[in-house]
């Protein structure tokens, strides 16, 4: 692995900047180098929000993401905004609530991230942690051990169990759809 | 051995400041510097320090000056609009020779501009924002790790030369989180303000060529006067042209004649070649990435990165630039440091500008493209 660029995008309040911080910290626990940056509008909630992470074995000279290897998005506007800005063969993961264009439908990986947070865990706010589980299971960009430690280092006391479950649900979302996802990546 | 941690640029400023001995912070929150205030509020009480949120930017600067006069290392942080408001009191600190550190995390201007977007438009303001001929030191870091180290140096220089020091950050570095290990800085020297001895004959503004007298803390029995008016060695106001000229010469000289001690810079591949890039802060990171691209195409590019922006490392630049065919100054403004570089090179070599001023950070390709166009 030389350098992997990851972009997490959605609306403000979905916790994707925290997810970006956790992912960067998990990479450090794996002994890798990482940087994390973000952009957001002036409003605290509801505006568009973007967290970017670069993970590398070497010093990261340019600190911002240029062409992501991985894009995960939980909001339709963010999907339209960023989908054409990918590295060739980059992986796009979108929430089930987003309807992809016909030409993209074959290659995007569409998973019920928000629904799983709401209905399986019963807490909408863990959609960000489920997202991290999805990324780890799908790409191995960080180890599951480091990811779990990084999550537990950052989440508020008393929410450890819920967040651990959220990670597992994230892994499972990918495992359950394994063959379908594998086929998409071949396209 | 300290572990490697993910740290934000603004956080590194606070860690560096506390390591340097920060004991007083006054400020008024403003994006993109707010994390500095938040973390000072959180951390200062644990090291016996005080945090105060003042009613506005002007009062924050005044409080910092007052705290420093009692002997405490003091800091404030702001961004463009607040930096403008602080200028009058920064001038007072420069004239009355009161050590203090002012962090300006630059955002897109002018005026309130774009609060969450990066820029480097305060280069000239950091030098000449307050009126009159005055000394100033301005430092600009280009990574989170450097932000930590440079903040410590900002305090050291401020105390050593009794001058306000501006830490000129930008939004990219302020908000960037990077994996850092601060182990290598654990033995960095911290400069402590010397205590004067003779209470009877204390001269807070004694004429010391290229230097400063020790500053006595208020409340320790040293009687002296502090004013923004031109003053004599006791600190009392004067209209005497001779006394005033001597004062101004010393104020300017203590920085200009100690450049060797004050000036910090970095250079990369400056042995010679086609293009010399001159850049600072976050823009220097985009330059380094552009250099890697250009190298692949056989174009030889060097980078000169001043860390001390003011006084500018002119001696070093004079040594380096003749080794290159062309020079480009790369900055997120319409061209400010460019004027200083142009002044130094005096038309001996072509000096071009590569600028960005739309609220977006440079990409390496912005720079690669401009350089290729120049051939």
B35–chain A Cβ distance below 8 A for any pair: no
pTM to 2 decimal places: 0.96
Residue B116 in any domain: the answer is: yes
Mutate to test the interface with A, among B3, B6, B9, B361 (most CBs of A within 10 A): B6
* pLDDT tens sequence across B188-233: 999 999 999 999 999 999 999 889 999 999 999 999 999 999 999 9
Query: Cβ–Cβ contacts within 10 Å for residue A88, how many?
Result: 6
B288–chain A Cβ distance below 8 A for any pair: yes
How many contacts, defined by CB atoms under 8 Å, are there between A and B? 55
* pLDDT tens sequence across A73-128: 999 888 888 888 899 889 999 999 999 887 777 789 999 999 999 999 999 999 99
Residues of B in Cβ contact (< 8 Å) with A32 = 179
What's the rounded Cα separation, in Å, for the pair A3 and A59? 10
Degrees to nearest 5, angle at CA B209 with B96 and B308: 70
Q: What is the pLDDT of residue A42?
A: 57
Starting from the edge strand earliest in sequence, which strands make up the sheet with A3-11, in order? A109-111, A91-95, A70-73, A3-11, A48-56, A33-40, B177-180, B5-8
What's the rounded Cα separation, in Å, for the pair B206 and A51? 54
The mean pLDDT value of chain A amounts to 90
Q: Mean pLDDT throughout B26-55?
A: 98
Residues of B in Cβ contact (< 8 Å) with A37 = 172, 175-177
Count how many domains chain B has.
2
| pLDDT for A44 beyond 70 | no
Q: Mean pLDDT throughout B31-59?
A: 98
- Of B132, B154, B185, the residue at which a domain comes to its end is B185
CB distance A35–B176 less than 8 Å?
A: yes
Question: Cα A63 to chain center, whole Å?
Answer: 18
Mutate to test the interface with A, among B142, B177, B269, B294 (most CBs of A within 10 A): B177
Omega before A73 within 30 of 0, i.e. cis: no
Q: Mean pLDDT throughout B348-360?
A: 97
| Per-residue DSSP letter, B194 | P
What's the rounded Cα separation, in Å, for the pair A154 and A160? 10
Q: Sign of dihedral through CA atoms A66, A67, A69, A72?
A: positive
B179–chain A Cβ distance below 8 A for any pair: yes
Among all residues of chain A, which has the CA nearest to that of B31? Answer: A42
B181 and B281 inside one domain: no
Q: Which residues of A touch B (CB under 8 A)?
A: 21, 24-25, 27-28, 32-42, 60-64, 66
Q: What is the pLDDT of residue A104?
A: 75
CB distance A66–B288 less than 8 Å?
A: no
* pLDDT tens sequence across A125-179: 999 999 999 999 999 999 999 999 999 999 999 999 999 999 999 999 999 987 6
B178 and B277 inside one domain: no
The CA distance from A183 to the nearest CA of chain B, in Å, is: 34
The answer to whether residues B105 and B34 touch, using CB atoms and an 8 Å cutoff, is no
The answer to whether residues B276 and B354 touch, using CB atoms and an 8 Å cutoff, is no
Q: What is the pLDDT of residue A11?
A: 87
Q: What is the pLDDT of residue A105?
A: 74
Count how many domains chain A has.
1
ipTM reported for the complex, 2 dp: 0.93
B181–chain A Cβ distance below 8 A for any pair: no
Q: What is the pLDDT of residue A84?
A: 85
The mean pLDDT value of chain B amounts to 97
- Of B129, B158, B185, the residue at which a domain comes to its end is B185
Range of the domain at B28: 5-185
Range picked from A35-44, A75-84, A101-110, B243-252 for highest mean pLDDT:
B243-252
Residue A106 belongs to domain with CATH number: 3.40.920.10
Residue B251 in any domain: the answer is: no
Q: What is the pLDDT of residue A187?
A: 47
Range of the domain at A79: 3-186
Go through B141-168 and write b for each residue having 16 or more CB atoms within 10 A of its CB, e for each that does not: bbbbbbbbbbbbbbbbbbbbbbbbbbbb
B178 and B82 inside one domain: yes
- What is the percent of chain B with per-residue pLDDT over 70, rounded to a whole number? 100
B71 and B164 inside one domain: yes
Residues of A in Cβ contact (< 8 Å) with B31 = 42
Residue B77 belongs to domain with CATH number: 3.40.50.970
Residue B368 belongs to domain with CATH number: 3.40.50.920
Q: Which of B248, B234, B199 is nearest to B95 (CA)?
A: B248
| pLDDT for A182 beyond 80 | no
Q: What is the pLDDT of residue B1?
A: 77
């Amino acid at each position: 692995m030389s350098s992997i660029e990851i972009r997490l995008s959605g609306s403000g309040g979905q916790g994707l900047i925290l997810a970006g911080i956790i992912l960067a910290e998990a990479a450090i626990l794996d002994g890798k180098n990482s940087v994390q940056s973000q952009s957001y509008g002036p409003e605290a909630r509801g505006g568009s929000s973007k967290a970017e992470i670069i993970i590398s074995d070497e010093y990261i000279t340019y600190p911002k993401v240029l062409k992501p290897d991985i894009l995960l998005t939980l909001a339709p506007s963010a999907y339209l905004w960023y989908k054409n800005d990918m590295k060739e063969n980059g992986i796009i993961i979108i929430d089930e609530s987003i309807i992809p264009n016909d030409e993209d439908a074959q290659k995007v990986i569409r998973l019920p991230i928000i629904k799983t947070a709401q209905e399986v865990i019963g807490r909408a706010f863990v959609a960000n942690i489920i997202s991290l589980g999805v990324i780890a299971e799908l790409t191995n960009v960080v180890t599951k051990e480091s990811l779990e430690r990084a999550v537990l280092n950052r989440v508020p006391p008393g929410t450890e169990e819920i967040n651990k479950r959220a990670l597992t649900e994230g892994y499972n979302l990918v495992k359950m759809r394994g063959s379908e996802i594998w086929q998409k990546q071949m396209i | 051995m300290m572990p490697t941690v993910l740290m934000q640029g603004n956080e590194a400023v606070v860690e560096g400041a506390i390591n340097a001995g920060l004991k007083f912070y006054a400020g008024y929150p403003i994006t993109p510097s707010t994390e500095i205030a938040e973390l000072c509020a959180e951390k200062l009480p644990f090291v016996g320090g005080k945090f105060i949120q003042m009613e506005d930017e002007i009062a924050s600067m005044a409080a910092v000056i007052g705290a420093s006069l009692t002997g405490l290392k003091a800091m404030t942080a702001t961004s463009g609009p607040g930096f403008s408001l602080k200028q009058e009191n920064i001038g007072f600190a420069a004239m009355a020779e009161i050590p203090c550190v002012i962090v300006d995390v630059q955002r897109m201007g002018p005026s309130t501009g774009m609060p969450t977007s990066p820029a480097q438009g305060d280069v000239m303001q950091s030098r000449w924002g307050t009126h009159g001929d005055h000394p100033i030191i301005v430092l600009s870091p280009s990574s989170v790790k450097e932000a930590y180290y440079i903040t410590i140096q900002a305090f050291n220089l401020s105390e050593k030369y009794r001058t306000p020091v501006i830490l000129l950050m930008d939004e990219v570095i302020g908000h960037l989180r990077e994996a850092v290990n601060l182990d290598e800085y654990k033995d960095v020297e911290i400069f402590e303000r010397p205590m004067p001895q003779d209470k009877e004959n204390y001269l807070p503004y004694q004429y010391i060529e290229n230097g400063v007298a020790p500053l006595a803390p208020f409340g320790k029995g040293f009687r002296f006067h502090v004013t923004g008016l031109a003053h004599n060695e006791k600190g009392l106001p004067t209209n005497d042209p001779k006394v005033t000229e001597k004062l101004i010469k010393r104020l300017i000289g203590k920085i200009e004649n100690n450049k060797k001690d004050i000036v910090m810079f970095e250079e990369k591949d400056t042995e010679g070649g086609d293009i010399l890039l001159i850049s600072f802060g976050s823009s220097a990171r985009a330059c380094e990435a552009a250099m890697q691209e250009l190298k692949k195409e056989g174009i030889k590019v060097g980078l000169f990165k001043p860390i001390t922006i003011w006084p500018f490392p002119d001696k070093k630049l004079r040594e380096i630039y003749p080794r290159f065919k062309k020079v480009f100054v790369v900055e997120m403004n319409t061209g400010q440091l460019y004027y200083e570089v142009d002044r130094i090179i005096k038309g001996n070599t072509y000096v071009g500008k590569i600028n960005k001023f739309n609220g977006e950070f440079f990409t390496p390709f912005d720079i690669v493209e401009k350089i290729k166009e120049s051939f």
